[in-house]
Amino acid sequence: MICGFLVLDKPAGPTSHTCVARVRRAYGLKRVGHGGTLDPAVTGVLPVALGPATRLLPYLPGEKAYRAWIQLGVRTTTDDLDGTVLDHQPPPANLTAQTLNMALAPFRGSIQQRPPSFSAVHVQGQRAYALARAGHQLHLPPRPVTLHRLEILAWDRDEGRLELDIHCSSGTYIRSLARDLGESLGCGGALASLRRTEALGFHLHQSVALDALVPPLPPLLDPLDVLHHLPRHQLTSREEVGWRHGREMAAHQPWPPDATVLVVAPDGKLAGLAKPRGQGELRPHMVFNTDG
């Protein structure tokens, strides 16, 4: 049974769906899914789950990291350089890395952020980008997001281009950050390019190129290694029989009531996930290779 994770270094051009289709064909599987969609122009970390590992995607950490290039002095319909230009205005002549760092201060930490009009946010049952393409004027409400790290890597005053290192919560739009930073400076801003360096706990150094999906295929990451942040319960041979039939079992130690516990079979392979129940019990929450 194929069960594991693959980290793709997505190139610019293909959609995330196209990348998943390539993985599906390469490994001969129907059950393949990805975590954290990337726009076609965006490159970098695209986590892909294969086989039963697709059920584990919700249990991975949701934070992400990016290297972003922001073009100041321009406003577009999509908040990136792929959109229609609305206006040009030169950045302030005295803009320095120090003043830019001060301008970024209000965006650090927990903030309210308005998603771009061209985004996958649902509006009355439709995607915002579909309504925007149809000519609707959208004013999406702001949402809470957190920018844990927002640091300047480079500032090219002549080109008006800023390079940033960003670590943020799930749901953060870097295009919105570019737009809002430009508005705060009075000159407009748009995302020039974006590369994701971390997603769902996976890092760029773990990734493989899309062109690497040829025999011999890249090895998959073991779910037990990927879910290292979860507490574990090692099954005994006797417990394994009941576990395969979905029976509750005694916990070897107390767990917090909201914990998700990784259950490991006697042979060291992933058996599933469990949730604490009552006093000192675990109930099956997700069972792999179910019997009965």
Instruction: Show which residues are catalytic.
Output: 39
Q: Is the peptide bond before 61 cis (omega within 30 degrees of 0)?
A: no
Contact 209, 38 (CB under 8 A): no
8 Å CB contact between 40 and 55: no
The two tokens of residue 194 are 């974006």
Q: How far is CA 168 from CA 14, 64, 108, 289, in A?
A: 24, 6, 9, 36
The structure tokens listed for 16 are: 């995330």
Return the residue matching tokens 């590992």: 53
Nearest of 148, 181, 182 to residue 165 by alpha carbon: 148
Q: Which residues contact 198 (CB under 8 A, 6 or more apart)?
A: 45, 63, 64, 65, 167, 204
DSSP string, 6-63: EEEEEPSSS-HHHHHHHHHHHHT-S-EEESS---TT-EEEEEEEEGGGGGGGGGS---
